[in-house]
């Protein structure tokens, strides 16, 4: 990308910005050049200031923070990592802390309090103004990852009898203190949500028009207990900038804005990806901030489950060792068979889990999805046969291994694709998270079945077509006599 030049602005989206700013900041702070700091930070976006402050040594963070203007300090603080927010709280004077927490928007304040020790939360809550304390306690009362926890209570509500020009002056007056002025909400005397209008509707309306005539009565809203993923999907589907949150009596209690929803979408995608990789997703998505033991803890449980599942595969092989003793070469194809079965199953579970998550599987329906995956598994198995059977025939020294590998490969890919599609759908139907049935589990489950099918097929062939083994021995002897 082209570099910025002249005073016309900074270009995006360089992660070095924060680093460069942090270096300059540190050297200016250490020589006490506070005016320089103010000049340096004035044109920088709050999120970049937050990252730069985060890069500073802890001792300088409070100093840098105090040099920010009051409004900017609040905005920067909201962007800081939770650990730095906490350490700043300890370093600032208690009146500074109180002012900061008092002025934060309610949703960001709740996110901060979620991270703090209960003792500190209680102390802070007591010191807040009654209005802010009430709204904070209300938001903290909703379950995590619901609309109630995600929403802010800073929105503009209008009345149906107001005129457009009255409404516009309300918007002007409240513009600085609310989260958004672009979505406006209309409520009746009991705070029931009766309509919605955008600032676009308002500025294009005739100044004497009544709000009741300009607003849209068909409002898409979510409940306080709606899951955050569903809230995100509503905003995404309808291209909204915000969605209103109503309580059980349909009273308007808050709004969720699109910027918070983008973070939810990223968080949910990370969770799905981690599930696909058998890693437990943390609450705060900070894998790279956590220490080695947290890393191991978030992986050991799934790993242990998978190891135990793999133990069953070992059991199946151990219990069928007679056929292996007869034809050792059968063992050489076990990884290929279960690997291919695992990969086909992983593909099916990946598309189905993602389809459930983005709801794109809906038009097809669960039954047709499973049948289609089963057919795809069989088709893919057939295609793989073209490569695998000749290889197994040659490398396995004859027709026995070739045929056993071929028959079981087809069975394994069909089974794996069916299980890969059906198990996440079944989990979803049972109200469980379908991502639990992601690739590693499908893979490990099909391992057991795959090895069983393979060894039983080979055993059956040995019993019912012993000439195959003979042919194998003959070709081995032939090869051996040719070689010497």
| Those residues with Cβ within 8 angstroms of residue 352's Cβ, 6 or more apart along the chain or in another chain | 361, 369, 373, 420, 421, 424, 425, 434
Q: Is 349 in the site for a second copy (CB under 8 A)?
A: yes
Of the ranges 64-72, 118-126, 135-143, 263-271, which one interacts with a second copy (CB under 8 A)? Answer: 263-271
Scanning residues 356 to 375, which ones bind a second copy (CB under 8 A)? Answer: 358-364, 369, 372, 375
User: Which residue from 29, 62, 344, 458 is in contact with a second copy, where contact means CB under 8 A?
Assistant: 344
- Report if residue 181 touches a second copy, rule: CB under 8 A: yes
Longest dimension (CA), the chain: 104
Q: Which stretch binds a second copy (CB under 8 A): 94-102, 124-132, 134-142, 227-235?
A: 227-235
| Near a second copy by CB under 8 A: residue from 328, 430, 463, 483 | 328
d(CA 12, CA 27): 24
The reply on whether position 65 binds a second copy by CB under 8 A is no
| Residue 208 in the binding site for a second copy (CB under 8 A) | no
Asked if 480 interacts with a second copy (CB under 8 A), we say no
Rounded to a whole number of angstroms, the minimum distance from the CB of residue 127 to a second copy is: 29
Three-state secondary structure call for residue 203: helix
What is the distance between the alpha carbons of residues 332 and 453, in angstroms, rounded to a whole number?
A: 16
Please state, in angstroms and rounded to a whole number, the distance separating the CA atoms of residues 53 and 57.
Answer: 9
Those residues whose C-beta lies under 8 Å from the C-beta of residue 139, and which sit 6 or more positions away, are 106, 107, 110, 148, 149, 151, 153, 254
**Residues contacting residue 52 through CB under 8 Å, at least 6 positions apart:** 18, 19, 21, 22, 25, 41, 44
Contact pick of 20, 39, 83, 220 for a second copy (by CB under 8 A): 220
Report how many residues bind a second copy under the rule CB under 8 A.
141
Which part of the chain contacts a second copy (CB under 8 A), choosing from 27-35, 99-107, 154-162, 301-309? 301-309
Q: Residue 95 CB, nearest distance to a second copy (Å)?
A: 29
Binding residues for a second copy restricted to 415-474, rule: CB under 8 A = 439-440, 443-444, 447, 451
Q: Can you tell me the distance from the alpha carbon of 369 to that of 365, in angstroms, rounded to the nearest whole number?
A: 6
Length of the chain: 484
Characterize the bridge pairing of strands 157-158 and 183-187: parallel
Q: Are strands 242-246 and 252-257 parallel, antiparallel or unpaired?
A: antiparallel
Under rule CB under 8 A, residue 144 binds a second copy: no
* Shortest Cβ 372–a second copy spacing (Å): 6
Q: Build a one-symbol-per-residue string for 66-105: x at contacts with a second copy by CB under 8 A, - elsewhere.
A: ----------------------------------------
């Amino acid at each position: 990308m082209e570099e910025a030049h002249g005073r016309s602005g900074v270009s995006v989206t360089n992660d070095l910005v924060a680093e460069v700013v942090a270096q300059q900041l540190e050297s200016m702070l250490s020589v006490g050049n506070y005016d320089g700091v103010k000049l340096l930070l004035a044109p920088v976006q709050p999120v970049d200031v937050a990252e730069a402050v985060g890069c500073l040594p802890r001792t300088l963070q409070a100093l840098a923070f105090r040099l920010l203007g009051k409004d900017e300090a609040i905005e920067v603080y909201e962007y800081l990592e939770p650990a730095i927010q906490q350490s700043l709280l300890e370093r600032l004077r208690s009146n500074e802390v109180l002012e900061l927490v008092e002025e934060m928007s309610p949703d960001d304040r709740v996110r901060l309090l979620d991270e703090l020790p209960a003792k500190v939360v209680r102390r802070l809550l007591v010191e807040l103004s009654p209005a802010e304390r009430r709204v904070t306690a209300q938001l903290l009362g909703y379950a995590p990852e619901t609309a109630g926890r995600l929403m802010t209570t800073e929105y503009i509500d209008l009345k149906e009898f107001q005129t457009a020009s009255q409404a516009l002056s309300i918007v002007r007056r409240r513009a600085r203190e609310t989260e958004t002025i672009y979505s406006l909400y209309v409520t009746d005397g009991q705070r029931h949500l009766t309509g919605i209008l955008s600032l676009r509707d308002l500025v294009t309306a005739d100044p004497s028009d009544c709000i009741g005539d300009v607003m849209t009565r068909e409002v898409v809203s979510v409940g306080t207990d709606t899951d955050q993923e569903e809230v995100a999907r509503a905003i995404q589907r309808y291209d909204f900038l915000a969605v209103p949150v109503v309580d059980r009596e349909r009273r308007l209690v808050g709004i969720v804005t699109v910027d918070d929803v983008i973070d939810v979408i990223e968080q949910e995608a990370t969770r799905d990806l981690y599930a696909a990789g058998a890693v437990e997703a943390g609450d705060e998505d900070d894998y790279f901030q956590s220490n080695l033991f947290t890393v191991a803890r978030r992986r050991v449980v799934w790993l242990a489950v998978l190891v135990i599942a793999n133990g069953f595969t070992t059991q199946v092989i151990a219990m069928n060792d007679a056929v292996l003793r007869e034809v050792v070469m059968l063992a050489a194809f076990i990884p290929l068979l279960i690997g291919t079965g695992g990969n086909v199953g992983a593909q099916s579970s990946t598309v189905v889990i993602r389809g459930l998550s983005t709801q794109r599987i809906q038009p097809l329906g669960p039954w047709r999805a499973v049948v289609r995956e089963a057919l795809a598994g069989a088709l893919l198995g057939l295609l793989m046969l073209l490569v695998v059977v000749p290889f197994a025939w040659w490398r396995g020294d004859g027709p026995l291994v070739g045929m056993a590998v071929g028959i079981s490969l087809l069975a394994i890919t069909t089974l794996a694709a069916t299980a890969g599609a059906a198990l996440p759908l079944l989990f979803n139907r049972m109200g469980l998270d379908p991502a639990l049935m992601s690739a590693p589990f499908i893979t490990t489950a099909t391992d057991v079945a795959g090895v069983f099918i393979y060894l039983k097929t080979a055993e059956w062939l040995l019993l019912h077509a012993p000439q195959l083994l003979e042919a194998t021995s003959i070709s081995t002897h032939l090869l051996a006599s040719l070689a010497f």
